[in-house]
């Protein structure tokens, strides 16, 4: 199973983290993003958005980190990570949308600006980050995990860019419950980090 | 089953549309957003983000339109709308992420600026809209539907703000395959529109 990958991408790390947690092996195919390889063959045919990660598992080709998490969990990970029931799936799904929306446009965008010099709106990224972190803090004050009372793919979707927030100038100091939750994730069997996340 | 609703919200319309397509009845609870009711009891307790829609079905309380679609499909809609298999779920899921990310930050944001006067970045919203519409056009040139060769909840997640794009100054003239796909959705049994969508 191939993962078209960029080591510094939190979206790619979501997949590497989950694969490590469930003990499956990925063949990493590094993509030279600074050199524009994501806009050329073969990546652009696999994902017309020209974004990473892309997963190829036999005849299954998937763009979008959240979709890849759903696929890996459903096929290889078991119900504890992505459940079967309607209310349970929807409870996890709320956080997958939060990952695609607020996480992407909050801490991820702040980091793109500060770390990679991409000209996006910093003020707006900080406002979205504050909204997201307040939501997480409020939730994690009352719950150990994002959904279902146990680790799920919601953790793999939300954790990476929260843990990388400091690279975008977003401090987690005011959010003790978020920091405690990050500690619980780092203690999971099989956990791996990335550059910027110990 | 109660839907806390705003008629003009495309995110609320996603849920009203899907409920109509599968023939389930929602009790609509209009929320006075201009009056700030989404930041007060009971909405703020149901969704700390202070956003609509919110669905309440007995003891199930859900924020996020994509999560609500997954819930309704899994519980009431059947596998044709939200399938069971790993690759199939992931194929639909890609478009649910696109709805939470590019649709939200492209045509939805452009409309928030033009129609509601919210001070967001129009240039960026137009750039994201162009990327999204190119992706859709390329895909729908080769496929009748977004995923699985049939209508799924992906249609309900992506269609509303594409159909409302004109209210944000985004024209669909260069995208004939997108317009043809919109026509197929409007021809589905049970289809309902909203203000701005015939």
Residues of B in contact with A64 (CB under 8 A): 93-94, 97-98
Whether residue B159 sits in one domain with residue B127: yes
Mean per-residue pLDDT, B94-120: 96
B192 assigned to some structural domain: no
Q: Please, are residues A16 and A5 in contact by the beta-carbon 8 Å criterion?
A: yes
Q: Are residues A22 and A105 in the same domain?
A: no
Nearest CA in chain B to A119: B124
Question: Would residue B197 count as lying in a domain?
Answer: no
Q: Taking all residues of chain B, what is their mean pLDDT, rounded to a whole number?
A: 96
Q: What is the pLDDT of residues A20-76, one digit of tens each?
A: 999 999 999 999 998 999 999 999 999 999 999 999 999 999 999 999 999 999 999
> Which residues touch B86 (CB under 8 Å, ≥6 apart)?
A70, A71, A72, A74, A75
Which residues, in sequence order, are CB contacts of A82 under 8 Å at separation 6+? A69, A70, A73, A74, A89, A92, A152, A153
Do B101 and B62 have their domain in common?
no
Residues of B in contact with A96 (CB under 8 A): 66-67, 93, 96-97, 100
Q: Which residues 6+ apart lie within 8 Å of A3 measured at CB?
A: A12, A15, A16, A19, A26, A27, A28, A29, A53, A54, A55
pLDDT band at B6 (very low <50, low <70, confident <90, very high): very high
- The DSSP code for B97 is H
In this complex, do A89 and B71 lie within 8 Å of one another by their Cβ atoms?
yes
For residue range A178-198, list pLDDT tens digits in order.
999 999 999 999 999 999 998
Please, which residues 92-131 of chain B have a Cβ atom closer than 8 Å to chain A?
93-94, 96-98, 100-101, 104-105, 120-121, 124, 131
Note whether B52 and B108 are same-domain residues: no
A chain contacts of residue B71, beta-carbon cutoff 8 Å: 86-87, 89-90, 93
- The total domain count for chain A is 2
What is the ipTM score, two decimals? 0.95
All residues of chain A having their beta carbon less than 8 Å from the beta carbon of residue B127 are none
Q: Is the predicted pLDDT of residue B198 greater than 90, yes or no?
A: no
* pLDDT single digits (tens) A158-180: 999 999 999 999 999 999 999 99
> Which domain, by its residues, includes B133?
86-186
């Amino acid at each position: 199973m191939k993962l078209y990958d960029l080591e510094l991408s939190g979206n790619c790390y979501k997949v590497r983290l989950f694969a490590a947690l469930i003990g499956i092996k990925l063949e990493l195919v590094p993509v030279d993003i600074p050199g524009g390889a994501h806009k050329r063959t073969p990546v652009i045919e696999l994902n017309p958005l020209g974004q990473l990660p892309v997963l190829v598992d036999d005849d299954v080709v998937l763009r979008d980190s959240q979709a890849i998490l759903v696929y890996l969990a459903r096929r290889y990970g078991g119900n504890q990570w992505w459940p079967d029931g309607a209310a349970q799936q929807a409870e996890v799904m709320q956080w997958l949308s939060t990952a695609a929306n607020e996480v992407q446009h909050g801490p991820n965008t702040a980091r793109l600006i500060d770390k990679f010099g991409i000209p996006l709106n910093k003020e707006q990224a900080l406002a979205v980050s504050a909204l997201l972190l307040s939501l997480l803090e409020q939730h994690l004050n009352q719950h150990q995990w994002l959904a279902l009372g146990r680790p799920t793919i919601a953790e793999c979707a939300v954790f990476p860019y929260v843990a990388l927030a400091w690279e975008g100038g977003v401090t987690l100091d005011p959010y003790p419950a978020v920091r405690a939750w990050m500690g619980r994730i780092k203690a999971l069997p099989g956990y791996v980090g990335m550059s910027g996340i110990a």
